[in-house]
Structure 1
Amino acid sequence: MEKLIETLNETFGKTFEINHISKVEIDSRKIGKDDVFIAINNGKNYIQEVLDKGASLVICDDSHWKNNNKVIVVEDSIKAMQLLAKNYRQKLNTKIIGITGSEGKTTTKDIIHGVLSSKYKAKKTLGNYNNHIGLPFTILQLKEDDEFGVIEMGMSHKGEIPILCEIAGIDYGVITNIGDSHLEFMINRDNVFEEKSQIKNYIPKENLFIFGDDVYLSKLLGNKIGFNSENNFIINNYTETSEGVKFSLNNENYLFKLNGKHNCINASIAISLGLSLGLSKEEIQTGLDSVQVTPMRFEKIVKNGIFYINDAYNASPVSMKASLETFNNIKFDNKKLAIIADMGEMGADEIKYHKDVIDFALTTEIDNFILLGERMKKALENFNDERLIFCNSKEEIKELINKKYKDNIILLKGSNFNHLWEII
């Protein structure tokens, strides 16, 4: 990683006696010989430990280490990491694809990475490392021979997307949709759109890929993907099967292993980008087949003879309804049980949004629903339907499943703070 060593020297105005860097780390438990450790948050408590492990360099904002020649003391270690990442990115020939949107960022990132990997050397954001800490950390994981970096960009407050775009130096941009995520901070969808669409200011319009059926995104200039005939890339013949979703895009047929209309859209965005970057249909389908999806995204799991669909990484009204609609449309011989839990960051109208989700759930043919969480409990006061069951805890849900629903196909959907995966 010669360019990283070069960047360290230039960023901090000093020549470090380092011949080799294995990787950059922010987790002291993962430090190995020749690693660079950036001590953020409480990482400063482990500096001696990482030096003992053989770290080549430590960056921290603890002045107690100013006399150690293996430690760079800075004013703010997070800002130092951001600056280092920005400078390092400028030395790389890697093309960066930035992905934002209210829902579907992580899955779309996984699909784009899978598609590009059929032809190119590509790296992606690990998990959901998509904020002001995770994004620069991801940039610092890139190697000099990586041809593409597929980078997720999350936000919850105004002004965050421009910061991430500037650090990443994006070449291509993707906006999946505009929904109701983060309304606690962003107040309304207009503000969400204004912030997410900032990505357009950092790339030419021909390098922007967006869901064209979205009422907000349809206003932007770029490559539009969707079901409407006005789009540049038109989805047709969308069908749910036990293998996943089958569909055509501009009259070419594709199969993707994750169910759901939203995943059909996510895959279509990835295909459109792949075609624009010179991949053949065959290379794209090979990439789709090999996609490694981040866990808890409509993940099918059989445990102790019970079939679960774990879609419980996160939730918003849009993704809740999409998950329920998909679950409703997949044909199973068994009855269906949906466990739906609280959504976070919904702002002042949070109970209204929970009522809307319950309303939508009752329009489906799903056999029964178990609700969990204080917000769902308040929303439930407006309903009297025998399909709706409220439980006070996950333990109570487990008991109910073992007693009554072991033969059901069970969907789990709710915000991550509910830890619904503990039920499995």
Structure 2
Amino acid sequence: MKQLLKVIEEKFHKTFKIHDISKVEIDSRNIKKGDLFFAINNGKNYIENVLKIEDTIVICDDNKWKNNERVIVVEDTVKAMQSIAKDYRKKLNIKLIGITGSEGKTTTKDIVHGILSSKYKVKKTLGNYNNHIGLPFTILQLNENDEFGVIEMGMSHKGEISALCDISDIDYGIITNIGDSHLEFMVNRDNVFLEKSQIKNYISEKNLFVFGDDIYLKNLSGNKIGFNKDNNFIITAYSETLDGVNFFVNGNQYTFKLNGKHNCINASIGIALGLSLGLTISEIQKGLDLVQVTPMRFQKIEKEGILYINDAYNASPVSMKASLETFDKINFSKKKLAILADMGEMGENAISYHEDVLRFANKSNIETIIILGPLMKEAYKNISSSKFILVENKEEIKKLIKNNFSDRIILLKGSNFNRLWEII
């Protein structure tokens, strides 16, 4: 990463003995020879250990290191990383694709990465490193040989999308949908839309791709993807199998390994981008087959003869219903059990949102639904149904599965803090 070293030396008027940076790290445990370490938060406690490793460089906001020739002391480490990432991005001859939306960002990121990887050298955001630290860190993972970067952009407060766009200088933008995520901070969907749609101000209309059936996004100018006939890329003949989804986009057939109508939409957005970039239908399908999906996105796990579907990375009313609908539609040979836990950041109407999800679940054909968490417990007071089982903790769930439901297909869905995967 010679370009990055040059950016740093020019920015801070400092010359280092090394001629290249091996890679960038924010976790001292991963440091190797020649790495650049940003000592964020308690990272400054490990600077001494990092400097014991040959040819490392450290950027921190701890003045006690100001006289060390391999340390750059700044006022704010995070802001310094953002500024360096912004300057480094300008040096790279690479196309960046920014992805935002209330749901589906990470899966869409994985899909776009897979599709483009069938033809180009591509890097993507690791995990969900999508905030004011994760995005610049992702940019600093890029190198001079990369042709595309797929950047996930998260948001929970006003102004965050613009700040991330300013750092990354994206060439293409994707908005997956507008939902009820982060309402604790954003209050309502109107505010979510205003924030998410800021991405359009940083790219041309022809480089914007959105879910055109969304009540908010359908009015944006750009490429619209969806089932409605007035979209630029029209999805038809969508169907589910045990192995994923089959569907057509503008008359051409595709398959994708993840179940769910929402994942069909995510895949179709990636297909639209791929077609716009000149990829052939066969290259796109090859890319869809190559997609490496981030764990806990409708992930099938078999353990002790039980098939679990782990969709428990995160949850909102929209993603809860999508997961339940998909689970309900798949024709498994066994009965179904859904385990639903609290959704986070729902704001003052949290109980109402949870009631809505439970009513939706109650109308499904799923035979049994276990619910967990204080919000679910409160919402359950207003729901009358014999298919629900209210529990106090995950240990209760494990016992119920062992003693009563070992013959079921089991869906796990709830916000990340519930740690539902511990049930498996």
Residue 146 of structure 1 corresponds to 146
Counterparts in 2 of 1:260-271, with a 5 A limit?
260-271=260-271
- Counterpart CA distance in 1 for 2:403 and 2:87 is 58
- Counterpart CA distance in 1 for 2:2 and 2:116 is 26
For normalisation by structure 2, the TM-score amounts to 0.99
- Counterpart CA distance in 2 for 1:52 and 1:321 is 52
- Counterpart CA distance in 1 for 2:191 and 2:286 is 38
1:21-58 per-residue CA deviation (whole Å, 9 max, x = no partner) reads 11000000000011000000110000001111235210
CA contact (8 A) 1:37 1:55 kept: no
- Counterpart CA distance in 2 for 1:377 and 1:310 is 22
1:78-106 per-residue CA deviation (whole Å, 9 max, x = no partner) reads 00000000000000011000000000000
CA contact (8 A) 1:114 1:290 kept: yes
User: Residue 405 of structure 1 aligns to a residue in which SS?
Assistant: coil
* Alpha-carbon distance change, 55 to 41 in structure 1, aligned in 2, over 3 angstroms: farther
Counterparts in 2 of 1:24-423, with a 5 A limit?
24-423=24-423
Q: Give the stretch that moved more between structures: 127-136 or 52-61.
A: 52-61
- Counterpart CA distance in 2 for 1:383 and 1:354 is 11
- Counterpart CA distance in 2 for 1:292 and 1:315 is 21
- Counterpart CA distance in 2 for 1:28 and 1:163 is 27
1:14 Cα deviation after fit: 2.1
- Counterpart CA distance in 1 for 2:27 and 2:38 is 8
1:332 Cα deviation after fit: 0.5
User: Which amino acid is the alignment partner of residue 377 of structure 1?
Assistant: K
User: Which amino acid is the alignment partner of residue 252 of structure 2?
Assistant: E
User: Residue 170 of structure 1 aligns to a residue in which SS?
Assistant: coil
CA contact (8 A) 1:11 1:83 kept: no
User: Which amino acid is the alignment partner of residue 379 of structure 1?
Assistant: A
- Counterpart CA distance in 1 for 2:11 and 2:265 is 41
1:55-76 per-residue CA deviation (whole Å, 9 max, x = no partner) reads 5210000001011111100000
CA contact (8 A) 1:31 1:55 kept: no
User: Which amino acid is the alignment partner of residue 329 of structure 1?
Assistant: K
- Give the total of aligned pairs: 424
- Counterpart CA distance in 2 for 1:300 and 1:52 is 43
User: Which amino acid is the alignment partner of residue 94 of structure 1?
Assistant: I
- Counterpart CA distance in 2 for 1:383 and 1:216 is 31
User: Which amino acid is the alignment partner of residue 348 of structure 1?
Assistant: E
User: Which amino acid is the alignment partner of residue 229 of structure 2?
Assistant: S
- Counterpart CA distance in 2 for 1:55 and 1:61 is 20
User: Residue 402 of structure 2 aligns to a residue in which SS?
Assistant: helix
1:13 Cα deviation after fit: 2.4
1:17 Cα deviation after fit: 2.3
- Counterpart CA distance in 1 for 2:55 and 2:35 is 5
User: Which amino acid is the alignment partner of residue 90 of structure 2?
Assistant: Q
- Counterpart CA distance in 2 for 1:181 and 1:7 is 37
1:391 Cα deviation after fit: 0.8
Identical residues among aligned pairs (%): 70
Residue 22 of structure 1 corresponds to 22
- Counterpart CA distance in 1 for 2:100 and 2:20 is 34
1:363 Cα deviation after fit: 1.0
User: Residue 274 of structure 1 aligns to a residue in which SS?
Assistant: helix
User: Residue 404 of structure 2 aligns to a residue in which SS?
Assistant: helix
1:91-123 per-residue CA deviation (whole Å, 9 max, x = no partner) reads 001100000000000000000000000000000
Residue 7 of structure 2 corresponds to 7
1:202-229 per-residue CA deviation (whole Å, 9 max, x = no partner) reads 0000000000000000110000000000
Unaligned runs of 5+ in 2: none
User: Which amino acid is the alignment partner of residue 329 of structure 2?
Assistant: N
- Counterpart CA distance in 2 for 1:11 and 1:42 is 25
User: Which amino acid is the alignment partner of residue 351 of structure 1?
Assistant: I
- Counterpart CA distance in 2 for 1:199 and 1:13 is 34
Unaligned runs of 5+ in 1: none
- Counterpart CA distance in 2 for 1:17 and 1:32 is 17
1:9 Cα deviation after fit: 1.1
- Counterpart CA distance in 2 for 1:383 and 1:209 is 39
* Alpha-carbon distance change, 55 to 379 in structure 1, aligned in 2, over 3 angstroms: farther
User: Which amino acid is the alignment partner of residue 372 of structure 1?
Assistant: L
1:15 Cα deviation after fit: 2.3
- Counterpart CA distance in 1 for 2:184 and 2:337 is 30
1:226-264 per-residue CA deviation (whole Å, 9 max, x = no partner) reads 000000000000000112000000000000000000000
User: Which amino acid is the alignment partner of residue 363 of structure 2?
Assistant: T
User: Residue 334 of structure 1 aligns to a residue in which SS?
Assistant: coil
User: Which amino acid is the alignment partner of residue 88 of structure 2?
Assistant: Y
